[in-house]
A and B are shown apart, each in its own frame.
Chain A
Amino acid sequence: MDRRILKNLDYTIIAVVSILILIGLLMVYSTTRDNVALTGGNQFKVVERQLLSVAIGLVFGFLLLFMDYRISDRMFQLLYVVNIILLILVLIPGLGSWRNGARSWLFGFQPSEFSKLMMIIIMGKYLSEKENLNSFLSLFFPFLLFGIPLSLILLQPDVGTAMVFIFIFLTMLYVAGVPGWKITTIVMVGVAAISIMFLAHHFLGTPLLIKEYQVNRLTSFIDPKRDPRGSGWNVNQAVIAVGSGQFFGKGLFRGTQGRLGYLPENYTDFIFAVLCEETGFVGSFIVLFLYFTLVWRGLRIAVQAKDKTGSVIATGIVAMFLFHIMENIGMNIGIMPITGIPLPFLSYGGSAMIMNIAAISVLSGIWARHQKIMF
């Protein structure tokens, strides 16, 4: 059976991901090799660490491949509790550490990254086994199940990841059987609630649930000129980097926006801008096409999955990738708010890399098991 799984893997996805990882390593090298503060003199230091994460991810992913996505009830409870505990631990001062305005790090990894995949698997089991999802009342428990980790993430506060969670959850609900109009209604209610919160803050002075600077960061992409040295800086510099690549780019390793320090976070959140600057429209189109292939293939897996659980989980994983891609590339090209959402397989970051490879592994597992005659 093990050998059959390997035989039935979707090698297109694996090839696409491999190429993306290689491009990512190249771009991480390009953006960090001259940053002595980061590398301490060893030009390959950051790339080596990224490579280590890839290796860990591959081992972890390989093991996951042989684990059935249809988890037992006990496993369901265990995963959920571990997930909640990790998200609580990261909030405890002394254990979790602050980075970029959020307490999201626990002993060098980010629990919220793994939480995404865990919640997808958990919700996949729960939503596919739930008989009735037709009434609003029936959605109460799924919302509660999902709302607890979401609230913990918002407490970090990591608005970007929270948005990923919401998008994943709504997409999974949709595929699991909730009618489109109900999803739309839920979204409208959410938007209305947020609007009321802001209006109340503006007129009545009630406290906002997020901080002012986060609001600025989220809205600066709309009008970066309002505060060009502050919250608008990153948007401006990223857009200039992307645009100045023109058709063929400035040449690999020859980007200047990042090297001269104008574009911050150029090896993590804004690595796509550097890719555009150095390889131009040609390079960025190729990467965009690879992502499209990944998402398209993922959707095919969701459609052709053996059972509803596989279908819902695959949809969740696709939604996660889709949102990461849309949000990260969108903020790099100035059409999405700036959040700390990394670009899958390209941005530097261990937790995200391991989790992304794991997610591909789960997706591959669903595909490998989709032909019923095999089992």
Chain B
Amino acid sequence: MEHKFKFLAGLVTIIFGMLLIRMWFLQIMEGATNMVKSREIQTRTIKINAPRGIFYDRSGNILAASRISHNVSVVPNDIVKRPEVLALLSRILKVSEESIKEKLKPDPKRFISPYQYIPIAKDVDPVTVIKLLEAKLDLPGVEVDEVPVRSYPFGGFACHLFGFIREINEQELNQLRDKGYRLGDIIGKAGLERTYEQYLRGVDGGKDFEVDIYGRQSLLAHREPVPGDNLRLTIDQKVQAAAEKALQEQIAFLQKNSRWRKAASGAIIAMDPRNGNILAMVSEPGFDPNIFVGVISQEMAEKLYKNKLNPTLNRAVQGEFAPGSTFKPITVYSALMENKVTLTDRFFCNGYDSVWGKKLPCWVARSSTGSKQHGVETVVDGLKNSCNAVMAELSRRVGADTIAKYARLFGLGRPTGLNFYPTESYGLVPDTDWKRQNKKEPWYPVESGQLAIGQNALTVTPLQLAQVYAAIANNGKIFQPRLVSTITKPSGEVSVRFKPQLIGNLKINPAVKDIIQQGLQEVVDIGGTAYGAFRGFPLKEIPVAGKTGTAQNPPHDDNAIFACYAPTDKPEIVVVVLIEQGGSGSSGAAPVGRKILEAYFENQIQKITAAKNPSTGDTKKNPTGTPGQGNVNPTGSNNSPGATQPAVETNGAKPTPKPTPKPDEVKPTPVPAAPEEPVSPVPEAGGDQ
């Protein structure tokens, strides 16, 4: 008897022990997991997207903001078990039931909770929204959300600068999950949208509902979204618009009215040399970043990605080009610094270099007009005439490695340090060591001459070239280029302020600078290579220092380059223009540079013109008459994009004032005359003008 009760007592202890262990396991060991499960089953969360930060230009004009879009989300669990809801939804949205199911399908790679809202349609048109709202009672588990989406009111305006946004992809999601990114989130993919993503995205809000087994919801919590921080850009809307318009028009003009029909792409950088502020950054061809916000159609995707010119490439920072003659100031600078040339030195140009002869002709030898030689020149004339013979002689005196050394001092061959995505290209400054290591060949003497005229293996990005001219303009001070001056919270409070960063100082001797600047000023003045483009520009009041470049680019047509700064006494703006296969710097690129300067100095020019013609005072009329082109008011100050109210457009339509017409909208006007300065098409040596 006794032992039987002992056995029963043991049995009781074991049973209670097992229950206790199991409870410990469920409540303590797995308690948190079960808590999560319990929460997940019973709560639904609707995300409220935070509006992305606004882009302002340097004077506070809105360049990119948000508009309201309608998204449709469903709870997979509520939909899949109710076929009639799925059928109705598919009818209203005009998509097949299968495609909806496909979106809700559990995917082992990306976790979709069957209890949470999953977006199935984006940017739904207003008619569909009304239909959905009318059928709301028959559509349990279907939610139509008003979502702020990015809107670029001026279409392709500054597209490379802004970049674009897109739904986060799997790879990014895996990397950024810890930073709070979730499936369906929007993320900046390029440009400022990507570079400043962490500031722009804001904090999404949400509504938490408690849901009972019948799907009835009651609101538990409402979290307001926190909009992203706003960027105050260094960009000047007027200059940017003028630059885009001028470049597009010039390309269209070249294609139609010149031998340079292959001209189709280019880049512009306008920068403030005093602080590195980028005033305009243009790359052609461009795209409309708005198309990335919604659903990209096959047609649009093909247009964008099958274009050989690659519209998403930002040529202003990624493009590497031979600078051609725009490099010559560095050659002259190295000779002056090494005391290998004085103002009294005389050079002679008979169309070819005195030592290398036909291996290094001067562009003037192939000129269709004039004497086919520059004759006796000073070093200043060498810059003004862009004479290759002078540069070749200087290269013999200084040596390639020394020129390369000075080129690097100006920042060539390495990124400028601009905080931007896509990251900058490095460019290349070749020297004898580089050749030996990379080509396994010795450096031939004539290559020094090629380097001196900005050819050989030398490449720069437009941004680097702008930095070089900014350094010259600024007596050697080199500022790190920047695009954003301040980041402000939605409340207006400044969260980050970027100060100008002085990253180098060449401390250019004033005497040296005067020589170079004099040469560059003569380039745009009577007899200079850019005189044609700057004829009529008020150079007295706004003195300009510039340099044209025609870089050979075999087997393609020559690239047209123009770099300048103004006013020379107190430089405010540096402009670099590049047109790929644009023919010549003087007729291809310089007119664009002029228009940008006109836009920047618009008010001053108006005053000057008014002072000159007190009777008419018509500022609309282009007083200069750029050759080969009609009167252009580069900025269109009356309908400047910034004057409109782009902030939020509820109907999803794009704002009307686009800064530029598309090239194909330009009427073909048969102008038989070639650009006034003919260009040497001969590719074999460093021709230039």
Give the interface of A toward B (CB within 8 A).
171, 174-175, 180, 239-247, 256-257, 259-262, 276, 280-281, 284-285, 288, 291-292, 295-296, 299, 302-303, 311, 315, 318, 322, 325-326, 329-330, 333-335
Contacts and interface: CB of A to CB of B under 8 A. Distances in A.
Contacts of B211: 260
| 4 A-B pairs with the lowest CB-CB distances in the bound complex, closest first | A243-B34, A261-B213, A246-B31, A244-B38
A276 B9 CA distance: 26
B8 interface: yes
Contacts of A325: 15
A280 B35 CA distance: 11
Nearest to B213: A261
B37 A333 contact: no
Interface stretch (B18-26, B141-149, B275-283): B18-26
Given A243-B37, A244-B35, A292-B12, 5 more contacts: A175-B4, A180-B7, A244-B38, A260-B211, A335-B18
Contacts of A302: 5
A325 B38 CA distance: 25
A239 B26 contact: yes
Given A262-B42, A281-B24, A284-B23, A246 B35 contact: yes
Contacts of B5: 175, 299, 302-303
B23 A333 contact: yes
Nearest to A282: B27
A175 B1 CA distance: 7
A243 B35 contact: yes
B20 A242 contact: no
Contact of B38 (A171, A241, A322, A333): A241
B71 to A, nearest CB: 27
A288 B22 contact: no
B68 interface: no
A320 to B, nearest CB: 13
Q: Which residue, A243, A259, A303, has most C-beta atoms of chain B within 10 A?
A: A243
Given A240-B38, A240-B41, A335-B22, A299 B27 contact: no
Contacts of B39: 244
A326 B213 contact: no
Nearest to B31: A246
A249 to B, nearest CB: 9
Contact of B19 (A171, A261, A262, A333): A333
A325 B28 CA distance: 21
A243 B212 contact: no
A79 B213 CA distance: 46
Contact of A261 (B24, B37, B212): B212
A46 B24 CA distance: 31
Given A174-B4, A333-B26, A260 B213 contact: yes
A214 B226 CA distance: 54
Given A245-B31, A329-B19, A262 B12 contact: no
6 contacts: A171-B8, A259-B212, A284-B23, A303-B5, A318-B8, A334-B22
A83 B84 CA distance: 53
**SS of B interface (majority):** helix
Contacts of B102: none
A249 B34 CA distance: 12
A284 B15 CA distance: 15
B12 A299 contact: yes
A162 to B, nearest CB: 20
A175 B28 CA distance: 38
B170 interface: no
B676 interface: no
Contacts of A245: 27, 31
Interface string B204-216: 0000001111100
Interface of B: 1-2, 4-5, 7-9, 12, 15-16, 18-20, 22-24, 26-28, 30-35, 37-39, 41-42, 210-214
Given A180-B7, A246-B28, A256 B210 contact: yes
A241 B30 CA distance: 12
A247 B27 contact: yes
**SS of A interface (majority):** helix
B40 to A, nearest CB: 10
A234 B39 CA distance: 17
Contact of A333 (B1, B9, B22, B214): B22
B95 to A, nearest CB: 27
B210 A260 contact: yes
A98 B159 CA distance: 73
B615 to A, nearest CB: 85
A372 to B, nearest CB: 17
Contacts of B12: 292, 295-296, 299, 322
Contacts of B9: 296, 299
Given A244-B31, A284-B27, A256 B38 contact: yes
Q: Which residue, A257, A280, A303, has most C-beta atoms of chain B within 10 A?
A: A303
Contacts of A247: 27-28, 31
B20 to A, nearest CB: 6
Nearest to A239: B26
Q: Which residue, B1, B16, B212, has most C-beta atoms of chain A within 10 A?
A: B16
Given A288-B19, A322-B12, A243 B214 contact: no
A318 B211 CA distance: 42
B23 A256 contact: no
Contacts of A239: 26, 34
Nearest to A245: B27
A169 to B, nearest CB: 15
A180 B20 CA distance: 27
A259 B39 CA distance: 13
Nearest to B214: A261
Contacts of B42: 256-257, 260, 262
A171 B16 CA distance: 17
A326 B19 contact: yes
Contact of A262 (B33, B34, B213): B213
Nearest to A281: B27
Contacts of A322: 12, 15
Contacts of A281: 23-24, 27-28, 31
A362 B12 CA distance: 21
Contacts of B1: 175, 311
Contact of B20 (A259, A276, A288): A288
